[in-house]
Amino acid sequence: MSVLMSSSSNQISPDALKCYDKAMNLWGEATFGELSDDKKKDVTAFLALAVKKAGVPYPLAEAKLGLVLYLTGDVKDALNHANKALGHDPDSFTGQLVRVLNALDSLRVKKLGAGDFLSGGGSIEGAVIASGIKTIFSLLGATTAASTQINGKNELGKLVEIYRRVCPKTNDVDEFLHMSQLLVNLGDFIKDVPFTGGKPNLFAEVVNAPISQLEMNGHEDDVDDIRLKAEGKSELFKP
């Protein structure tokens, strides 16, 4: 199974790469919420070993470790690893995703349930749209609500900036599909969030992303599907 590697993957120790592969193979196509507790622990352990054994900064594994820690409720360590990943790679989409999930969770009575729509997805980590997800907001005071909305909007903006920087540079169709599907999912999640000054149109970002540089490898229909889906949702989008 192929996996997305950072630009410095040729310097990362073979043991670390093996541990990362084991983690992603265990996660596979299932959503994180569908994994048994034992598998969740194993995925986390292999990612922790990948970071430890790398010998050099390994932002891809660091960011994934942050994500699984977040999904298992260890928010403090999750953000620590996500921030480390971003420190080594400012374009770490997964690292910034952890920050976005944390910011959006602060706007809700209950968690986003991201573990129920994030899958291992092999080489792309994947994201599967969950049905029937309802947005439930916390009863925050006006000042706190405004502050958390600003933070959430800022973190989303940073994720969009990463998407805009990475898309023109990557020829990896899996990476494009991974990021694009996540933006579409997040766009669905925030559609009822009352952001001050309006919410970002994440669907339009996918529609406008360049694709001519992608090596399709038989994924033309998948790319067409996500772009059409995003275009349709963008037509219905209300700031």
Residues 175, 135 share a domain: no
Please report which confidence band the pLDDT of residue 147 belongs to, taking 50, 70 and 90 as the band edges. low
Q: What is the pLDDT of residues 53-102, one digit of tens each?
A: 999 999 999 999 999 999 898 999 999 999 999 999 999 999 999 999 88
Residues 109 and 75 in one domain: yes
234, 159: one domain? yes
**Residue 140 predicted with pLDDT over 60:** no
CATH of the domain at 97: 1.25.40.10
Residue 75 · residue 112 · CB < 8 Å: no
Domain tally, the chain: 2
- Please give the distance of CA 67 from its chain centroid, rounded to a whole number: 8
Write the CB contacts of 44 (distance below 8 Å, at least 6 apart in sequence). 23, 65, 68, 69, 72
Which tens digits make up the pLDDT trace of 173-209? 999 998 999 999 899 888 877 777 888 999 999 999 9
Q: Which of these three, 91, 107, 139, is where a domain ends?
A: 139
Q: Same domain for 65 and 30? A: yes
pTM over 0.95: no
Question: Quick one: tokens of 157?
Answer: 């903006």
H helices then E strands: how many in the chain? 9, 0
Boundaries of domain holding 218: 153-239
- Both 169 and 135 in one domain: the answer is no
